[in-house]
Structure 1
Amino acid sequence: MNILVVYWHPEPKSFNGAMFRTAIKTLEAAGHSVETSDLHAMNFNPVSGRHNFISTNDAEFFKQQLEEVYATEHDGFAPEIETEIQKLECCDLVIFQFPLWWFGMPAMIKGWVDRVFAMGRTYGGGRFYENGVYKGKKAMISVTIGGSEEMYLKGGWNGDLDAILRPIHRGIFEFNGFSVLAPQKVFGPARRAEQERIAELERYAKRLQTIFDESAIEIGQY
């Protein structure tokens, strides 16, 4: 299978970095082909604008979605965006690896979605949810959380983590046709002993060895 891992963390030696490398090593050892988008290393620009395109639909008024549709029809995406879109189109599974910041994705991953999930190419024309462009593909979040698990339960201090992740699961993945796998969650890695962190990486590697045997989760239950 083909896997795309989209990863962001500003420190390569972080636990997120370790999870990123664990995923690549484990999936390749299992015989899969792995593409990556290491957004920090790429110095990926998360800000959308006319630089997303080499084509122009309306030079007087910029509406991104209409420019995306026009670029889809005229091979008009900037090379760095075209490359990322092709990675999505080729993958059987996409994994987002990131730390939870302010109850969401860090800006660089969110900006990657804003620029790469382009109308006309990725969605639109009735191609949503069960009729989405990426129907038949799978998607998963692998996320680290600064606090403890107890803080992110229903009724906990910060609320249900599954509810926090729902906008990504439903509004990005399912919206575009992906089947959503259960998120890989690691709570408070900076507060863990080294052996505990190693155990978390081993748990992740074990899961990835049979990841394509997993069924999609029901997002509506959140």
Structure 2
Amino acid sequence: MNILLVYAHPEPRSLNGSLKDFAVQRLQRGGHVVQVSDLYAMQWKAALDAEDNTALQPGVRLDVSLNSRQAFENGTQSADIAREQEKLRWADAVILQFPLWWFSLPAILKGWVERVYAYGLAYGVGEHSDTHWGDRYGEGRFAGKRAMLVVTTGGWESHYGPRGINGPINDILFPIQHGILFYPGFDVLPPHVIYRTSKIDEVGFAQVCEALGQRLDALGTTAPIPFRKQNAGDYEIPALTLRPEIEPGREGLGIHLLRG
């Protein structure tokens, strides 16, 4: 497979840096072709602004979605955005690797999403009617591609368990997995989360690499998270709420997953 690894950590000598190097080597040994977008090394501009459209005239009021659509359609996006979009088109699978900072993505990676996910590429595609509300949540430009998160955190695994103080890890990652990845069509694999990073010694690092290696080896065969597709009949359109006869009496994030 062609695999894009989007990596967000400022220190190459960190645990994340070592895991990134390990992942590239493991994937290449498995016969995959790998590209890495090392956002800090690239000095990626995180802030979305008017300069993302090189054709926007000075003094014109910035309409973010309209500006994104015009730049995407007319080929006037800034060069850094266009390069990352080409990597996404090329990739069969995308891995986002990052430390969990304040319960979310590092700002530089969030900025990568905001700038690269242009109107017409990641959103604003497909018909809107009484039966189909855009190509999203299981459909879209990235349908048929796979995606997975590799996440590190200093907290204990129990802190992110079903009754942990931080909340369940899958709930914390839901906006990323369901919103950023499933929304434009990716098949989203279960995340690979590495806990208590400050306590990992040399022996622990070998164990961490072995576990990560197993996940990378199975990148093409692991069953994706069974998110419900928006236009497959489970949701009322245009309200986009789960039909009352499905999961009656239940609410919350879990209702958006199919249960066997």
TM-score by length of 2: 0.82
Cα separation, 2, equivalents of 1:196 and 1:188:
11
1:156 to 164, 175, 186: 164
Amino acid corresponding to residue 18 of structure 2 in structure 1: A
Larger of the two Rg values belongs to structure: 2
Deviation per residue, 1:118-170 (Å, 9 max, x gap): 11122213221232110000111000011100111111111101100000011
Cα separation, 1, equivalents of 2:26 and 2:196:
23
**Is the partner of 1:44 in helix, strand or coil?**
coil
> RMSD across aligned C-alpha pairs, in angstroms?
1.5
Q: Which runs of 5+ in 2 are unaligned?
A: 126-133, 228-255
Amino acid corresponding to residue 79 of structure 1 in structure 2: A
Counterpart in the other structure of 1:32: 32
Deviation per residue, 1:167-219 (Å, 9 max, x gap): 00111101000010010110012112320121111211122122101111124
Counterpart in the other structure of 2:202: 194
CA contact (8 A) 1:129 1:175 kept: yes
Quote how far apart the aligned CAs of 1:43 are. 0.8
2:154 to 146, 152, 156: 146
2:136 to 128, 147, 150: 128
Counterpart in the other structure of 2:86: 86
Cα separation, 1, equivalents of 2:113 and 2:170:
20
Q: Which runs of 5+ in 1 are unaligned?
A: none
Query: Residue 21 in 1 paired to residue 29 in 2?
Result: no
CA contact (8 A) 2:140 2:184 kept: yes
Counterpart in the other structure of 2:177: 169
Counterpart in the other structure of 2:243: none
CA contact (8 A) 1:57 1:67 kept: no
Q: Percent identity?
A: 38
CA contact (8 A) 2:147 2:186 kept: yes
Amino acid corresponding to residue 80 of structure 1 in structure 2: D
Query: Residue 53 in 1 paired to residue 61 in 2?
Result: no
Cα separation, 2, equivalents of 1:105 and 1:24:
21
Quote how far apart the aligned CAs of 1:38 are. 0.2
Cα separation, 1, equivalents of 2:67 and 2:201:
50
Cα separation, 2, equivalents of 1:113 and 1:206:
27
Cα separation, 2, equivalents of 1:216 and 1:23:
20
**Is the partner of 2:193 in helix, strand or coil?**
strand
TM-score by length of 1: 0.95
CA contact (8 A) 2:139 2:183 kept: no
Following TM superposition, the consecutive aligned residue runs of length 4 or more in structure 1 with deviations greater than 2 angstroms are 55-59, 218-222
Which has the bigger relative contact order, CA under 8 A and spacing at least 6?
A: 1
Q: Which moved more, 1:161-170 or 1:205-214?
A: 205-214
